[in-house]
């Protein structure tokens, strides 16, 4: 078995892991819904009259005790806490372990592909799909170290699974050497940063979608119950989701700004002009402007909240469009799909 075959094998194994992780994450969401139902029943049984959605838990924490010098405590109201606290769950831990395992296999697939090709593994659509999705998982796992976004697991593994499936089945190409047009250090920088930006946008997109749904639930109350989305009660508030989405998206935006600039520098070296409104350049620009609009919307009265979330969603749709339709069907100088 040569290295590329090993790469393909690891890739399919990674996909299998992600599939199992996806199922486990979905089970976790189902369990959360069950928890919410149970909590509601308990409340009803206790004859509690207050609406659960109004509860903002008041936490009291001991801040510190100085020996000899007693220090009083502070109180802080956490308005962002979810309405129902989810229980620790073994299935969630399994899901996470599977994701990490999938990530390692995925990483192996990418690295072996690169070694087999003797160059960076992001020179055609298949490889770009491979590396881009790897970065989505990597960014997700890194963010998890700081912020609990495990509830996004179904989305992230699901998205990656779909993208990898398309890449492996429809975009697969054998290893071929780089054509002269792609032999540049800028390929390494430009494309890698673009993938990293895409990874952050993907996360921001997921958070923005949840923000919208959560917002609906918060203002509209029960009309979502038919959709079996009870688990939403265990997730952060719409406002917290919005802040998280914003923070992820601005990281993506900065990476995207850099992508745009690195692309322009490369275009100058390769074609003698840094900007020529080539289709791919146009779409990179459009995406940049949409996200600039998103950032502005957050700072514009009347646009904060759901409206700005829609812009984040449109932005990510444009990113996906740029990667798929523009690459495959639009004519331009950036003919690197390898298909």
Q: Residue 149 binds what, of ligand HEM, other proteins, none (CB under 5 to 8 Å, by partner type)?
A: none
> Is the distance from CB of 110 to CB of 132 less than 8 angstroms?
no
Least distance between ligand HEM and beta carbon 285 (Å):
10
> Rounded CA gap, 55 and 81, in Å?
9
Compute the Cα dihedral for 96, 145, 203, 107 and give only its sign: negative
- Chain residues in the site for other proteins (CB under 8 A): 63-72, 74, 76, 174-181, 183-184, 186, 243, 246-247, 250, 253-254, 257-258, 261, 264-266, 268-279, 282-283, 285-286, 289-290, 292-293, 296-304, 311, 326, 330-333
Task: List the single partner that 192 binds among other proteins, ligand HEM, none, CB under 5 to 8 Å by kind.
Answer: none
The conformation of residue 88, written as its DSSP 8-state character, comes to: P
Nearest approach in angstroms of CB 313 to other proteins is: 14
Report in angstroms how near the CB of residue 274 gets to ligand HEM at its nearest: 18
Residue 254 binds to ligand HEM (criterion: CB under 6 A): no
Torsion angles phi and psi, residue 277, rounded to 5: 55, 40
Q: Which does 111 bind (CB under 5 to 8 A by kind): ligand HEM, other proteins, none?
A: none
Nearer to other proteins, 179 or 221 (CB): 179
Nearer to ligand HEM, 208 or 235 (CB): 208
| Count of Cβ atoms closer than 10 Å to residue 171 Cβ | 20
Closest by Cα among 88, 182, 197 to 136: 197
**337 contact, one of other proteins, ligand HEM, none, CB 5-8 Å limit per kind:** none
* Residue list 255-314, contact with ligand HEM (CB under 6 A): 292, 295-296, 299
Q: CB of 240 within 8 A of CB of 247?
A: no
Compare residues 150 and 298 and give the one whose CB is closer to ligand HEM: 298
Interatomic CA distance for residues 167 and 273, integer angstroms: 32
Q: What is the dihedral of CA 67, 71, 72, 73, to 10 degrees?
A: -80
Considering the complex, state which of residue 90 and residue 177 has its C-beta at the smaller distance from other proteins.
177
Q: Which is nearer to other proteins, 30 or 310 (CB)?
A: 310
**Which position's Cβ is nearest ligand HEM?**
299
Cβ 18 to other proteins shortest distance, Å: 28
Q: How far is CA 172 from CA 26, 90, 176, 279, in A?
A: 29, 37, 12, 24
- Cβ atoms of 200 and 255 within 8 Å: the answer is yes
Shortest Cβ 198–other proteins spacing (Å): 18
CB of 333 to other proteins, least distance (A): 8
At its nearest, how many Å lie between other proteins and the CB of residue 20? 33
Crossing angle, helix 153-170 and helix 125-146, to 10 degrees?
Answer: 170
- DSSP letter at 231 equals G
- CB 259, CB 190: distance < 8 Å: yes
Binding positions for ligand HEM, rule: CB under 6 A:
292, 295-296, 299
């Amino acid at each position: 078995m040569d290295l590329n075959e090993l790469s393909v094998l690891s890739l399919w194994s990674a996909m299998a892991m992600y599939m199992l992780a996806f199922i486990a994450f979905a089970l976790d969401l189902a369990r959360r819904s069950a928890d919410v139902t149970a909590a509601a029943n308990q409340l009803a049984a206790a004859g509690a009259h207050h609406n659960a959605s109004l509860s903002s838990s008041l936490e009291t924490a001991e801040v510190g005790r100085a020996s000899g010098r007693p220090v009083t405590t502070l109180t802080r109201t956490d308005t962002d806490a979810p309405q129902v606290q989810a229980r620790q769950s073994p299935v969630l831990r399994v899901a996470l372990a599977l994701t990490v395992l999938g990530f390692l296999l995925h990483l192996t697939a990418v690295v072996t592909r690169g070694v087999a090709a003797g160059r960076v593994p992001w020179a055609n659509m298949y490889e770009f799909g491979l590396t881009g999705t790897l970065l989505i998982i990597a960014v997700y796992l890194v963010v998890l170290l700081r912020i609990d976004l495990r509830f996004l697991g179904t989305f992230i593994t699901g998205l990656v699974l779909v993208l990898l499936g398309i890449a492996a089945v429809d975009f697969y190409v054998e290893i071929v050497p780089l054509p002269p047009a792609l032999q540049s250090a800028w390929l390494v920088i430009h494309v890698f940063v673009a993938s990293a930006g895409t990874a952050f946008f993907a996360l921001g997109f997921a958070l923005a979608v949840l923000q919208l749904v959560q917002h609906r639930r918060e203002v509209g109350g029960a009309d979502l119950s038919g959709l079996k989305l009870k688990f939403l009660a265990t997730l952060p508030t719409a406002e917290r989701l919005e802040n998280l989405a914003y923070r992820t998206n601005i990281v993506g935006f900065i990476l995207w700004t850099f992508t745009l600039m690195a692309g322009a520098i490369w275009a100058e070296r390769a074609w003698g002009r840094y900007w020529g409104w080539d289709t791919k350049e146009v779409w990179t620009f459009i995406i940049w402007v949409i996200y600039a609009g998103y950032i502005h919307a957050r700072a514009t009265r009347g646009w904060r909240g759901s409206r700005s979330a829609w812009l984040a969603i449109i932005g990510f749709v444009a990113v996906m469009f740029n990667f798929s339709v523009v690459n495959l069907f639009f004519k331009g100088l950036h003919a690197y799909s390898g298909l």
